[in-house]
Amino acid sequence: MVQTDYYELLGVSRDADGATIKSAYRRLAKQYHPDRHGGCKENEAKFKAVNEAYDCLKDPQKRAAYDRFGKAAFENGGPGHDPFGGGNPDFSDIFSSIFGDFMDGQRGGRGRGGNVGRGSDLRYDLDLTLEEAFAGSEKTITVNALATCEPCEGNGSRGSSVPQTCQSCGGAGRVRAQQGFFLVERTCATCQGSGQTVSDPCPACDGEGRSLKKRKINVNIPAGVDEGTRIRVAGEGEAGVRGSPSGDLYLFIHMKRHPIFHRDGTTLIAECPVSFTTAALGGEISVPGVDGEKIEIRIPAGTQSGETIRRRGAGMSVLQGRGRGDMVARILVETPTKLSKEQKDLLCQFRETETGDECPQAKSFFSRIAGLFDK
């Protein structure tokens, strides 16, 4: 391969525009094309060099890298290695390495290596009754997860020995490496990001500073939580490696079925069956509220099945707010199925007195269809 400056090879100045570079490339490519010279090795080498130069200078990113670093911009681990020509580099991996510590810091990382070595987050699915969700509650849950090792108090060393500063990263927990013209920072493989190494590991935790343990955690559930509510309990996840920060505990709320109420946000809905006489004549029914207080619901005379009656402020608590939602009673008029002879006789007497005006919807319907039978 001909080794020379790309600009000199194409015969253009360093400030040449894209059109000038393209024109020079076409002229030289035509001049040195192997088909024109019967397999001349020297011209074939020049043709390849011209293509290499044009491939770099036609791309703004590659050209900027070349202008700054020369061919070293495309060398990583040996001569001739071209991360651009051999397939584009994975910029997502590069930028993840560069900005990983910053993003970890945004999530609450602390200590020498940010969130490097940080313990894993835990998930716990918690079932609640409607009453517990309404009032809020304190729950004690049991988790089986990695916790700080008690014999070594989390430093990972046996007895009186203490961890030493990692020689690979100088205690930073991160190591840097040149990747093309990027300076990439990664977790130190020697110390796993903790910045320290253990020469005499604790036998209880094998030098990790944490071990599996069952523990109880008290958690506060705010009033008004609903199905799918997620509650973060900071620092109650798994312990980190050798004193690194612990992860967080996430509670996912699930609601148990209630015998009376169906919940829709802060609204509680109860389906209330009533007798047809109560619906016709009016009356009152009582429903036990979610707060334990009795709710009186007045049924107006002539109430139809499916109608709703709303009681303001008798619903669920508002999460992280004040006040309560509403309670809605959906009235279901029940037709009697077991009647005594006396009751049947009374209903027959009632039917004999009907004029049709008692049930205007039924009267209207049958009036509309009456003419259809004559067709």
Tens digit of pLDDT at every position of the chain (375 positions): 445 788 888 888 888 888 889 888 888 888 887 767 666 778 788 888 888 888 888 888 788 888 877 777 666 433 333 433 344 444 433 343 334 443 343 344 333 444 556 888 999 999 999 999 999 999 999 999 999 888 888 888 887 777 888 888 888 878 887 766 677 778 787 777 777 788 788 888 888 888 889 999 999 999 999 999 999 999 999 998 887 889 999 999 999 999 999 999 999 999 999 999 999 999 999 999 999 999 999 999 999 999 999 999 999 999 988 899 999 999 999 999 899 999 999 999 999 998 888 888 888 888 888 767 665
Instruction: Give the separation between CA 370 and CA 175, rounded to whole angstroms.
Output: 90
205 is in an annotated binding site: yes
The correct CATH number of 120-146+209-257 out of 3.40.50.620, 2.40.50.840, 2.60.260.20, 3.40.50.2000 is: 2.60.260.20
CB 86 within 8 A of CB 62: no
DSSP for 309-352, written as a single string: EEETT-SPBPTTSSSB--EEEEEEEEPPS---HHHHHHHHHHHH
What CATH code would you report for 6-74?
Answer: 1.10.287.110
- What is the assigned CATH class of domain 261-334? mainly beta
pLDDT value of residue 45: 83
Q: Tokens 């609601």 appear where? A: 255
169 annotated binding-site participant? yes
Tell whether 56 is in a known binding site: no
Question: Is residue 152 marked as binding?
Answer: yes
**DSSP strand E in the chain: where?**
122-128, 137-148, 164-165, 174-179, 182-187, 196-197, 210-221, 230-233, 249-255, 261-264, 267-275, 283-288, 294-299, 308-311, 327-334
Look at residue 106 in the predicted model and tell me its pLDDT: 39
Same fold, 120-146+209-257 and 261-334: yes
Identify whether the C-beta of residue 230 lies closer than 8 Å to the C-beta of residue 251.
Answer: yes
User: Per-domain residue ranges for the chain?
Assistant: 6-74, 120-146+209-257, 261-334, 346-374
Q: Is 40 annotated to bind ligand? A: no
pLDDT value at residue 80: 37
- Position 356 scores a pLDDT of 83
202 labelled binding-site residue: yes
